[in-house]
Amino acid sequence: MHPSPSAPAHRVARLAGAAVIALVCLLAGLSVPGQARVFDPKTYTLANGLQVVVIENHRAPIVTHMIWYKVGAADESAGESGNAHFLEHLMFKGTKTLKPGEFSQIIAQNGGQENAFTSYDYTAYYQTVASDRLEIVMRYEADRMANLVLTDAVVLPERDVILEERRSRVDNEPGSLLRETMQSVLYLNHPYRLPVIGWEHEIRSLSTETALAFYRRWYAPNNAVLVVAGDVDASEVLRLAAMYYGKVPAKAVPERRRPTEPPQHAARRVILHSARVRQPSLSITYVAPGHNSPGGKHAYALQVLDQILGGGSTSRLYRALVVEQGLAAGTGSSYDPTAVDLSSFDFYASPRPDVDMAKLEEALRAELGRVMRDGVTEDEVALAKRQLQAQAVFARDSLNTAPNIFGRALASGRTVEDVETWPERIGAVTVEQVDAAARATLRDEQSVTGLLLPEPTT
């Protein structure tokens, strides 16, 4: 990620209707959104293949601009782990017209915030600025989509920055090391097993050439999604997108070819002892389907199951482990089906002082066994669905939520309609579907258990 300053706000000018009609005629493939259910986005596709999503939100005179590339750490070449994240850093190092760091300076001078992030399936760059500064952002973001300039003089020092980032955020953090190790054994063959930041020895081998090759292979308008949300007029956003991004030529982008995951037959266990550990923790992670992977039919039911088991102080795990048995200081679960391929279903718990970890693990497994054996109830499913659907209502209040939801979905192979109909699809989930999803997913042979413990006393 990249450091960022803070931001004020203003208004944006509106585009005349006749100009909009003329502009639309120049575009290839304007898509008319269906009946809005959550964010009411306007969606377009420019002639060069760039998908544009606009969410108008006039509560404050600011705008968030995000460009999402459909490429991430899982698309790297063998032996180049960390290359996608490396390029994310280097995208701030200048173009044919901007000096290294000048884009960031321009955003700061205009009172904006900016940053970027890399995941397994996508890389995103974003800015939040006053509405009347949107054109500045588009001009320079489109510039670095096509005109990045890299030399060893800027690349090699940035590689040292990433090595230090790895040392501080992973190597010196026992929890991060445990998660990295668990991820590496959760998947037997899929590149999701590799750390997004990269293995240290492979980061050291990254270079100007590896970064530029990745940039030239994947960074193109037809492999990107532009999401703009805030106090804007959709027609004005479309005009600016066509003016700046529309000039970037499309190019051939390779198909995402990733190794598939074989059947798993044995549970794994990872134990990390460290003198830095002050609070022990227990994690159990299962390979789970994403929307696009085999078993994707279970994705909505698994979201309901996640809410039932680990969704806050009313969840099964909290009531059982924290309130009733008094074993855990905290507990919960996590599942997100938004991925190009597989996902994971995660459970975690931390013990109260003097509680034996074996007893905590036994209690957590007993609760998972109970849901596998007895299933869930009609009342639990109804409550979980209401809670999830309420989250969709509250999501409209935030300027940043909508662009993140749409960007992640569209960069991972989902559609605008998938996002907009999410409350309906959650509402249609049945008890039988939740039970079937639990039994298909929470299987020991496709799990990794992680224990984070202090150094044993002698």
Catalytic positions are: 88
Q: What are the backbone dihedrals phi and psi of residue 78, each rounded to the nearest 5 degrees, phi first?
A: -60, 135
Calpha distance 67→65 (Å, rounded): 7
CB burial string 167-206: b at 16+ within 10 A, e below? eeebeeebbbbbbbbbbeebbbebbbbbbbbbbbebbeeb
Give the Å distances, CA to CA, from 280 to 176, 352, 355.
Answer: 13, 9, 10
Contact (CB, 8 A) for 66 and 239:
no
Contact (CB, 8 A) for 80 and 87:
no
**β-strand partners of 118:** 123
Calpha distance 169→15 (Å, rounded): 46
Calpha distance 399→403 (Å, rounded): 8
